[in-house]
């Protein structure tokens, strides 16, 4: 990981191999034609966002949210939302009270 | 007889309360227009039979005490509505029927508003022209000569429906400008509240640290009324804020005397059309004449806002959209094993822009790139927020144009993601800093297209935003010029 930190961002670019890797991580299959298009689009987006590299942010704290809310405890009480039968109605495939998926174990 | 659809929301409710018309009369006049307006493609689905039942029951009970009584309201198809299909304009959720109601929409129905249907938007709210919807383009009620124009996005169906008088008001969502940019393109009012002002519970999530629901209305008063209804703490959203409840509508006043208005020099972007620059000057002139104090300010990191947004928003989206796996709900494609089923489902269920953003988001969060992109963006987000914090020590509100141009034609930017992203250049900053911002129409350009200004306010100071917009609105007296050409 450290290796990348010392590289200027502009040296990073996405090739077809990387597209394949990302598509695996994102669980989205991509065709060869889509790969070409994605290679072009993703590189142009990366080039655009790499402007951030012009800024020195060494002493800046990262923020993940602007919310100042302090988490509060909710009352410990039973509420009837999201009943099992209702929820299962939206499943693409079910059997009794179970979701059905392609076989995982041989 | 008055054309009931031309009434504002405040006037419509007043009409019903004063028994000048029945709830069913008001509803029927909207239904009549809606049925003649399919060409605009504003609606993903309509719920008119249930609407008629509800209007009849309001009339029969003769209880007109609720503050939105009888108001026919369609909402963005991103709010989960119990037993009513909610698609996020995606093939992925084409047949999804929520078992629960979003907090924001529940608050509308609690005040006796009537659901008309669900409004088209960009797929999963990702887009600035409504061209990414699985259900097709929405047409802007304004045209350039006889050419169709985009309504803006992502709340394009909402904006077009309000401008075309197909709903008395609506609620949209805004992650980087999705309420304000389409509001500007269609000459209506759009308000993105402070992050935390409204509950996000039950809204299909895009980028959770940026998403906010807000009013899209015919005028500023209507926006204040809707905000009164939809805002407030919700124990189901831990980021919603517990603030004392006041009425924005009752506190609305058109007085800006002594108000300090900041004009950020960094918003004078390259290649900004002269009409947008002179629009801005006009806004400054009006505020000055009304006694406001104009101050030049600097928001030094403005140019880094879009690049920051296009790291943070896709990163959060890639995580939020991981739930669409073809198992529990939504679309499923076949695959020989579980992984292939996931991959095919997500490949066929999502459109191109959504896939592009999930891929970028996955990349910037992946091992080895996280620090260089995502962490960097979070740091710059802090700088952008600090710029605003500093500026708001000297000024009460900030005035800018809402968009760099008026509405554009279909296909003009859809081939180039960056050109499309540049639409949000003036709006994303408010999302990154969590601040409230309102867009409201000022005038028409030489082609007859609406142009709008934006006010950005201090955290949880929507009242000053509404008051300032209200003062300018009174002065410019903007009147809709929608010609009903599609009917």
Q: Does B86 touch chain A (CB under 8 A)?
A: no
Q: How far is CA B20 from CA B13, B71, B405, in A?
A: 10, 14, 41
A92:B332 CB<8 A: yes
> Any catalytic annotation for residue B178?
yes
Q: Residue B303 in contact with residue A51, Cβ under 8 Å?
A: yes
Structure letter (DSSP) for residue A54:
G
User: The domain spanning residue B456 has which CATH number?
Assistant: 3.90.1300.10
A102:B341 CB<8 A: yes
Report the C-alpha gap between B221 and B250 in whole angstroms: 10
Give DSSP secondary structure letters for B318-372: HHHGGG-SSSSSS-----SSHHHHHHHHHHHHS-HHHHHHHHHHHHHHSTTTTII
pLDDT at residue A4 tops 80: no
Give the count of beta carbons closer than 10 Å to the beta carbon of residue B448.
Answer: 13
Give the count of beta carbons closer than 10 Å to the beta carbon of residue B487.
Answer: 11
User: Is B172 inside any structural domain?
Assistant: yes
Report the C-alpha gap between B274 and B299 in whole angstroms: 22
User: Is B484 inside any structural domain?
Assistant: no
Residue-level pLDDT at A30: 96
User: Is B296 inside any structural domain?
Assistant: no
Q: What domains appear along chain A, each with residue ranges and CATH number?
A: 14-53 (1.10.20.60)
pTM: 0.96
A29:B359 CB<8 A: no
Closest residue by Cα to residue B114 from B203, B52, B192, B61: B52
pLDDT at residue B140 tops 70: yes
Q: How many CB pairs under 8 A join A and B?
A: 187
Q: Does B309 touch chain A (CB under 8 A)?
A: no
Give DSSP secondary structure letters for B51-72: HHHHHHHHHHHT---STTTT-E
> Any catalytic annotation for residue B347?
no
Work out the minimum CA distance from B350 to partner chain A, whole angstroms.
Answer: 9
Q: What is the ipTM of this complex?
A: 0.90
Residue-level pLDDT at A12: 62
The band of A6, judged by pLDDT with boundaries at 50, 70 and 90, is: very low
**Domain tally for chain B?**
1
Chain B residues with CB under 8 Å of A69 CB are 196, 238-242
Residue B37's domain spans which residues?
4-260+393-476
Alpha-carbon B16 to chain mean position: 27
User: Is B287 inside any structural domain?
Assistant: no
Range B181-193 average pLDDT? 98
Q: Going by DSSP bridges, is the β-strand pair B212-217/B170-174 parallel, antiparallel, or unpaired?
A: antiparallel
Q: Which of A48, A83, A104 sits opposite B310 (nearest CB)?
A: A48
Q: Which of B368, B372, B381 sits opposite A63 (nearest CB)?
A: B381
Chain A residues with CB under 8 Å of B99 CB are 81-83, 86-87, 89-90
How high does pLDDT run on average in chain B? Answer: 97
User: Is B284 inside any structural domain?
Assistant: no
Q: How far is CA B135 from CA B44, B95, B152, B417, in A?
A: 7, 13, 15, 20
> How do residues B82-135 score in pLDDT, each as one tens digit?
999 999 999 999 999 999 999 999 999 999 999 999 999 999 999 999 999 999
pLDDT at residue B353 tops 60: yes
User: Is B280 inside any structural domain?
Assistant: no
Between A2 and B277, where is the model more confident? B277
User: Chain A residue closest to B95 (CA)?
Assistant: A90
Chain A residues with CB under 8 Å of B234 CB are none
Q: Does B421 touch chain A (CB under 8 A)?
A: yes
Range B184-198 average pLDDT? 98
- Give the residue ranges of DSSP H helices in chain A: 2-5, 16-25, 32-49, 84-88
User: Is B210 inside any structural domain?
Assistant: yes
User: Is B50 inside any structural domain?
Assistant: yes
> How do residues B22-45 score in pLDDT, each as one tens digit?
999 999 999 999 999 999 999 999
Q: How far is CA B333 from CA A31, A74, B93, B123, B321, in A?
A: 16, 39, 13, 19, 17
């Amino acid at each position: 990981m450290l290796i990348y930190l010392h590289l200027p961002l502009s040296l990073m670019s996405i090739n077809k191999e990387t597209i394949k890797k990302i598509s695996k991580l994102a669980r989205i299959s991509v065709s060869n034609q889509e790969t070409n298009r994605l290679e072009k689009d993703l590189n142009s987006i990366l080039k655009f966002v790499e402007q951030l590299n012009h800024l020195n942010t060494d002493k800046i704290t990262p923020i993940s949210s602007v919310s100042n809310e302090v988490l509060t405890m909710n009352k410990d009480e039973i509420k009837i939302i999201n009943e099992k039968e209702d929820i299962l109605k939206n499943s693409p495939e079910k059997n009794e009270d179970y979701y059905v998926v392609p076989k995982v174990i041989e | 007889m008055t054309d009931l659809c031309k009434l504002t929301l405040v006037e419509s409710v007043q009409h019903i309360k004063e028994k000048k018309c029945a709830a069913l009369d008001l509803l029927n006049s909207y239904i009549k227009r809606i049925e003649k307006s399919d060409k605009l493609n504003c609606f993903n689905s309509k719920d008119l039979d249930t609407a008629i039942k509800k209007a009849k029951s309001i009339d029969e009970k003769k209880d007109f005490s609720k503050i939105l009584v009888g108001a026919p309201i369609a909402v963005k198809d991103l709010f989960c509505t119990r037993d009513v299909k909610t698609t996020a304009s995606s093939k992925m959720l084409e047949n999804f029927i929520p078992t629960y109601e979003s907090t924001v929409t529940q608050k509308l129905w609690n005040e006796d508003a009537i659901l008309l249907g669900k409004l088209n938007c960009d797929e999963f709210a990702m887009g600035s022209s409504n061209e990414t919807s699985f259900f097709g383009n929405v047409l802007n009620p304004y045209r350039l000569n006889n050419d169709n124009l985009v309504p803006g996005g992502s709340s394009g169906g909402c904006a077009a429906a309000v401008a075309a008088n197909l709903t008395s008001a609506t609620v949209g969502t805004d992650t980087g400008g999705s309420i304000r940019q389409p509001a500007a393109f269609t000459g209506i009012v759009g308000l993105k509240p402070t992050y935390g002002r409204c509950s996000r519970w039950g809204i299909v999530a895009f980028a959770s640290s940026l998403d906010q629901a807000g009013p899209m209305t015919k005028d500023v008063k209507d926006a204040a009324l809707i905000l009164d209804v939809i805002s407030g703490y919700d124990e189901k959203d831990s980021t919603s804020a517990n603030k004392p409840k006041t009425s924005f509508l009752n506190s609305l006043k058109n007085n800006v005397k002594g108000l300090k208005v900041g004009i950020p020099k960094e918003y004078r972007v390259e290649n900004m059309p002269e009409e947008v620059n002179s629009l801005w000057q006009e806004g400054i002139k009006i505020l000055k004449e009304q006694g406001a104090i104009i101050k030049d300010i600097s928001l030094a990191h403005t140019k880094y806002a879009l690049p920051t947004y296009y790291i943070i928003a896709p990163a959060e989206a890639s995580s939020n959209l991981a739930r669409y796996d073809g198992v529990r709900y939504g679309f499923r494609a076949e695959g020989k094993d579980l992984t292939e089923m996931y991959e095919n489902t997500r490949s066929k269920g999502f459109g191109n822009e959504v896939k592009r953003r999930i891929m970028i988001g996955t990349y910037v969060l992946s091992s080895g790139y996280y620090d260089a992109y995502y962490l960097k963006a979070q740091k710059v987000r802090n700088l952008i927020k600090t710029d605003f914090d500093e500026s708001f020590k000297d000024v009460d509100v900030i005035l800018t144009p809402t968009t760099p141009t008026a509405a554009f034609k279909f296909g003009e930017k859809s081939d180039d993601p960056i050109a499309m992203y540049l639409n949000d250049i003036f709006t994303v900053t408010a999302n990154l800093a969590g601040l409230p911002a309102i867009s409201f129409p000022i005038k028409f350009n030489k082609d007859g297209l609406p142009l709008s200004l934006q006010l950005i306010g201090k955290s949880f100071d929507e009242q000053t935003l509404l008051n300032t917009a209200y003062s300018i609105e009174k002065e410019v007296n903007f009147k809709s010029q929608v010609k009903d050409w599609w009917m």
